[in-house]
Structure formats: structure tokens, C-alpha cells
Chain A
Amino acid sequence: MLTKNAAGVKARKRLCMTVNGRAVEIEIDIRESLLDVLRDRLQFTGVKQGCSVGECGACTVLLDGTPVNSCIYLAAWAHGKTVVTIEGLAQDGKLPPVQEAFVDEGAIQCGFCTPGVVLSTTAMVDSGKCFTHDEVRRELSGHLCRCTGYQKIVDAAERALREAEIAADEHPV
């Protein structure tokens, strides 16, 4: 429980989590962020390092289904949790409807913010709730798009939500 990092000795910890549906068990340094572990150790490079201070949202991942900035989240805290990165969305090489919506709306320019935005949109869709236009903008407000392509991003998110609603009506659970 007390993980010491005495001079020169790295404090290490075993981290067990599920990443994109697969159980992962690795030894980490307590000083690492979840972003460090996902990118540098597990090679999920779809998780982008942008500002490193929780402003830009490029490092967003879903933690137990909830979007968080992995740059300001200690890797040690992910123990026992489920993480989804952009790499975890496509199944058997087929894009899910959220990603299709981003392609169809042309909501991608340089692509750096895209993984984070797609994951936040996925969380909205998976919540099963309805969102007004303002609420969609609010839910995406933690993402900076340096290409300033916000209009199409919001359009894509609304398309994804609309299509999910139609799909739910056609195939009620």
C-alpha cells in the first residue's frame, strides 16, 4: 500500500486492467500517467499526447465507459478498471457507426484530436441518453481541434447519436 520511491530506486507496482477487451498485467512505475503506460508500454499510439495538462482532450480514453484525460490520471489508479482506446472500437476491421459518422461527415482534418472526440462521442452514444445540440457541444467541450473543424465534429456526433437512436428503435433491447 505504501509504495516508496527512495533515492534511485524506482517504486514499481503491478497493474492489472482490461484494455480494449484484453486483460493486461504489467509492472509500472508509480510516477507514470495512464497515457505513458498506454502509449509507451502498450503501444496504443492512438492515444495522443497533446498538452499534458488536461486542457486539450487528445489523450482521452474511456475508463469504465467514462471519458477521462489519461495525461493527468495516474496509471496506478487504473488497477482493476476497463480502458478503451480508439484502437478498441473497430471489430474485425469494421468501423463502428460512430467512426463511420465521422467519416461520412468529413469530420477529420489532421486527425490529432479525432481519437479523443470519437471516444467522447462513443460515451454519449453508449449512455443511451438523448442530447440537445447544446448538450452535444458541452460534452465535446473538453476537446481542442487545432484545425478548428468543430462544426463537422458536432455534425458527426449528432449524426452518430441520431443513427443510434434509430437503430435502438428498430432493434429494441
Chain B
Amino acid sequence: MFDICELCEPETLAEAKALFRANPELKVIAGGTDVLIRMQHGSLAGAGLLSLRNIPHLDEIEMLPDGTISVGAMAPFTRIFEHELIRKHVPVLGEASVSMGGPQVRNVATIGGNLCNGAVSADSASTLFALDALLKLETAEGERIIPMRDFYAGPGKVNLLPGELLVAILIPREGYEGMGGHYIKFAPRKAMDIATLGVAVVCKIRENRFVELRIGLGVAAPVPVRCFEAEAYAKDREVTWECVQEIARLALKPAKARSSWRASKDYREHLIEVLAQRAVAEAVKRGGGCCAD
């Protein structure tokens, strides 16, 4: 049995926001595949839970009139991976989604929960960084939309105000349109594992030149990071193997890798360079470019 002191199951978003305002100490639970495991391990003892599972429409994936793709915070990873809009427009997010956990976990675990946990290893996070995604946050008082980059405050910490809920992830048209993308999750096992390092790349190629390149790294620093120097270097440059190698070297700049039982700092830095190279090369290929050496 879980050490739960109360379970709130609001039926509407308005009801959830009102409850959360009145009881900001409640722990929000989405799919539960992290929260309940933490409870099983003895943390969060005696917590009161605010479950979002009974709220309809919070798991929908749709394209808004301006071309933004909106992914409901309660969308489970399997749904994201299988969804037609994601397959067609943002396959790199599908790639990241299917790399997470195992099938039974992906059937229940939600993208919103994955982000709100604040884990730097979240497979969806580095990808959404690369996609320049925005987050729609709501309280009983109103809503705000913030860039992914402003969401992560530190390991396991995110910038959510008391009583605030993540409602949707917005991927603007400029974030995905015409982009080739690739996500590489590096982990000892192919399934049911946590990333030792995650590299997400999207790029737009015209006449074999980088029109735009964006790289998101997971587990390279205390929070997911973007590789702005590498991205700026690539801009308007012809795609060559040397160029891709230089991009990968520059991708190390924002990294603040640390040693943990999963990997040493040196090994992680080696991974960043090697995997950035591979991910950029594959994203270039998918974006219609060629960097054959």
C-alpha cells in the first residue's frame, strides 16, 4: 500500500486549479510512474495527491490554427509516439517518446509528468529544448506561457508557482517545420533504462547549408541545455564532415557534466562530442542534406 493521506480526483481543470490553490501542499500526480515509485521507496511519505487523471481533454494532441502543435500534458508517451501529427511533423519527439521506459510505463506515463519531475535525464526534455517548445501553465488566477528553457531551475526543480499546473506543451510551427531531427539516447540497456546522455538535434537544410540548427542535451549539466555556440557556428555554413565535427566540439561548451555511478565526467564529455556528431549527421540526412566525408 502507498503512504497516501488523501486522494483528490477533480473532474474538471477549473476544479483542479481551485483545489490546488486551496491546498498548494498537494502533490500532483499524472501517470504516477514516478510519484508512486518514489512513494514505494519511502519518499513523499504521507503525501496528499492531486490526480489529474479524471480531467477530460488534457491528453489531446492537436494542431492549432497557427500551426502550433499542442500536446496535452496528460498525453501518455505511447499516444505521442503513435500520433499521426507527431509522426508527420515532429517525428523526433516520437523517437524520444518511445525511448522512455518500457511499453507498460509508456502507456501510462505522461509527457507533463516527465517534465514536471525536473529530471535532467527526461527523454522528452532535451528534445523539446531543441524544438524551442513552450509550456502552457495555469493557475486558478490565469495562465502564462514560458519557453522550456525557463522551466528548469535545477536538478529535480522546475519553475512552477504554488498552485500552478502544466496544461500543455506547445511546439510552434517555426520549431518543427521543414526540420530534420534525430534523438540519441545513450544508455547501457535498450529499454527500461535512464539516459546516461541524451542528444536531440533538429536542423533545416537548404542547398546543403545549415539554415538553422538546434541541439538539446540531457544529462550534460544539472538541467537540460541548448548548445547555442554550436548552433551559431553552423548557421549558413555548408554541411561538410569537418563542419559537423566542429559543431560537435562546440556542443561541449554548455556542458557541465559530472561524475555519477552511471558515468564519469570524462566519459560523458566524450559521449557529448561523439553523439552530437552522429545526431547532427543523421538529422542533416533527414533534413535533406549530405555530410559524407
Interface residues of A (CB under 8 A from B): 1-6, 11, 13, 29-33, 36, 52-55, 57, 60, 66-69, 72-74, 76-77, 120, 138-143
The 5 closest A-B pairs by CB, nearest first: A142-B102, A141-B191, A31-B1, A72-B36, A30-B7
1/0 per residue, CB under 8 A from A, across B1-18: the answer is 111111111110001000
Pairwise interchain contact B2-A60, C-beta atoms closer than 8 A: no
Pairwise interchain contact B101-A142, C-beta atoms closer than 8 A: yes
Bound: A77/B1 CA distance, A:
15
Pairwise interchain contact A36-B107, C-beta atoms closer than 8 A: no
Pairwise interchain contact B190-A54, C-beta atoms closer than 8 A: no
Q: How far is the CB of A147 from chain B (nearest CB, A)?
A: 18
Determine the chain B residues whose CB is within 8 A of the CB of A60 once the complex forms.
104
- The residue of chain B having its C-beta at the shortest distance from the C-beta of A64 within the complex is B107
Pairwise interchain contact B104-A69, C-beta atoms closer than 8 A: yes
The interface size of chain B toward A, counting residues with CB under 8 Å, comes to 33
Q: Which of A31, A72, A74, A76 has the most CB of B within 10 A?
A: A72
1/0 per residue, CB under 8 A from A, across B69-109: the answer is 00000000010000000000000000000100111110110
Known contacts A3-B8, A31-B2; A72/B107 CB under 8 A: no
Pairwise interchain contact A72-B37, C-beta atoms closer than 8 A: yes
Pairwise interchain contact A33-B1, C-beta atoms closer than 8 A: yes
Bound: A72/B38 CA distance, A:
10
- The residue of chain B having its C-beta at the shortest distance from the C-beta of A10 within the complex is B1
Interface membership of B187, Cβ < 8 A: no
Determine the chain A residues whose CB is within 8 A of the CB of B6 once the complex forms.
2-5, 11, 30
Pairwise interchain contact B191-A138, C-beta atoms closer than 8 A: yes
Pairwise interchain contact A1-B1, C-beta atoms closer than 8 A: no
Pairwise interchain contact B40-A53, C-beta atoms closer than 8 A: yes
Interface membership of B240, Cβ < 8 A: no
Determine the chain A residues whose CB is within 8 A of the CB of B144 once the complex forms.
none
Q: Which of B1, B7, B9, B36 has the most CB of A within 10 A?
A: B7
15 contacts between A and B (CB under 8 A): A1-B10, A30-B6, A36-B1, A57-B104, A60-B104, A68-B107, A68-B108, A72-B33, A74-B7, A74-B32, A74-B51, A76-B51, A77-B51, A138-B191, A141-B192
Q: Which residue of B1, B41, B108 contacts A53 across the interface (Cβ within 8 Å)? A: B41
Q: How far is the CB of A59 from chain B (nearest CB, A)?
A: 9
Pairwise interchain contact B32-A139, C-beta atoms closer than 8 A: no
Bound: A68/B51 CA distance, A:
18
Bound: A1/B51 CA distance, A:
10
